Amino acid sequence: MDEPKVLETYKLKLGEVLIDVSIYTEEDEPVPIYNVSILNISKTTQRILEKLREEFISRVNLGALQETESADIIERFKQEIRVLIKKYFPGLDDDTTELLVNHVIQQNVGLGPLEILLKDANLEEIVVNDSKEPVWVYHRAYGWLKTNVFIKSEARIRHYSTTIGREVGKEITLLKPLMDAHLTTGDRVNATLQPISTKGNTITIRKFAEKPWSITDLIKKKTMNYEVAAVIWQALQNELSMIISGGTGSGKTSTLNAIANFFPPNQRIISIEDTRELTLPNTLHWVPMETRLPNPEGKGEITMLDLVVNSLRMRPDRIIMGEVRRQREAEVLFEAMHTGHSVYATLHANNAVETIVRLTTPPINMPKAVLSSLSLLLVQNRNRRTGKRRTLQVAEITPDGDAEVVIQLDVLKDSLIRTSEAKRTLDTLYLYTGLRPAEIEKDIKSKMAALKWLVHQDITDVHEIGLIMSKYYAGTLHV
């Protein structure tokens, strides 16, 4: 049998505990393995620690430990663990003792071993399918990986779901076996209970990006090229409305966050999301808003529609909406476009034609005639085999409400190519700015030069890019 091939190794720190991460392939495994090693302790020591943990649980009120935020109570439990460590590891030095104390506490507070995975900024998804198989993760670089982390019982998985729900005033029970919630960090969580999920209880965590995606990141990752980024920049600068569509996990919200780097600083931006995911440059006049779920009595809900309607009373220049799902939301958004607001939103659809179909059929069901107030579609795609995210299409909306693709991904060459002239966009820009095609092309080349400078300087922080953009709009940026 071939030796495992190591793809990458790195370290994480959880409190005072240092964790080794190793990603490797094995001959008989269909996907790479994501291996976490805590403290590099031996299997014998791990077995003793497990016995210590069981004795600790039998001696203390674990429910109080799970629910408390009191430093005094946690410190009392730590003292209990120190006594047990002295029993099982006599003669251990103080530093190692404290590492083991922290390890046992972390295994019993919050989400236990899942806390380790939540610490890894390289992970996008963390998935518990049941107690019999390992936890799975989706890694930015390597796609789906199988971990060496197990949740040892269905009761423990359910307990984690209950813990998450309690934090945000939601519950998951046999009568209500489905739950959507989010952690205090912004990570989105879905949980299900048996027998709805027939193999076992499940938890799916989509992680909130600690560092928001910038336009520099998208170009460096080859998600889009300089020309597409410049075309989008020109459209946003000139207040053309846009929908970003794509399949699940294609990077719609990340792309929306990145192109928001192009907003000018002298306009008011209102963003509306179910869970805060966007982080716009702090140079912008930005008001983020978030929906609210009803309380257990069914009162106090604030919907996406409530916020869209309210935003029109806040004198916005730009409105950003997380995702269009229903007819009333779409109606208000297109009404905002008709009344002179620039609107940006995301939508689940795999290509430009599908996007038009989604918009014009239930449940959104917009008349095709109104789609002409939308200027552009930006379609994102994730190749499930390779894990690569790419801009698939840039399309403009014709006066008849159809999608005309102007830039298309050549999948075999992994490059974006122009397929036709953006006639309507050129006409719109000429109507409102007086720019002729040659001047528009010159402006795109100027923007491409600025983007190349950003990439060359390796400027990826959205706030720093926001400051550079404000200098660009003021005419003081020289690259």
**What are the tens digits of pLDDT across the range 208-232?**
877 889 999 999 999 999 999 999 9
**pLDDT confidence of residue 424:** 93
Mean pLDDT to the nearest integer, 253-272: 94
Using a pLDDT cut of 70, give the percent of the chain over it.
Answer: 92
Which pLDDT band, with edges at 50, 70 and 90, does 2 fall under? low
Q: Domain limits of the chain?
A: 215-474
For residue 203, the tally of other CB atoms under 10 A from its CB is 22
Q: Is the pLDDT of residue 190 over 80?
A: yes
Three-point CA angle 427, 424, 347, nearest 5°: 135
* Residue 412 CA to its chain's centroid (Å): 28
**pLDDT confidence of residue 158:** 94
Q: How far apart are CA 376 and CA 392, in angstroms?
A: 13
Q: Is the pLDDT of residue 3 over 90?
A: no
The stretches of 262-413 forming alpha helices (DSSP H) are 304-311, 327-338, 352-360
Give the architecture (CATH level 2) of 215-474. 3-Layer(aba) Sandwich (3.40)
- Among candidates 315, 321, 312, which has minimal Cα distance to 344? 321
Contact (Cβ atoms closer than 8 angstroms) between residue 230 and residue 448: yes
Three-point CA angle 257, 259, 264, nearest 5°: 110
Q: How far apart are CA 128 and CA 149, in angstroms?
A: 10
Phi, psi of 126 (to 5 degrees): -130, 125
Contact (Cβ atoms closer than 8 angstroms) between residue 127 and residue 144: no
| CB hemisphere CA count around 303 (13 angstroms) | 10
Tokens 């019982």 belong to residue: 153
Which pLDDT band, with edges at 50, 70 and 90, does 52 fall under? confident
Three-point CA angle 336, 407, 386, nearest 5°: 105
Average predicted confidence (pLDDT) for the chain = 88
* Residue 459 CA to its chain's centroid (Å): 21
Beta strands 188-192 and 202-206 are antiparallel
Q: How far apart are CA 203 and CA 325, in angstroms?
A: 24
Which pLDDT band, with edges at 50, 70 and 90, does 73 fall under? low
Q: Is the pLDDT of residue 39 over 60?
A: no
**pLDDT confidence of residue 63:** 54
* Helix, strand, coil share of the chain (percent; to 5): 40, 25, 40
**pLDDT confidence of residue 289:** 94
Report DSSP state, residue 172.
-
Q: How far apart are CA 84 and CA 248, in angstroms?
A: 48
Q: How far apart are CA 444 and CA 435, in angstroms?
A: 12
**pLDDT confidence of residue 155:** 92
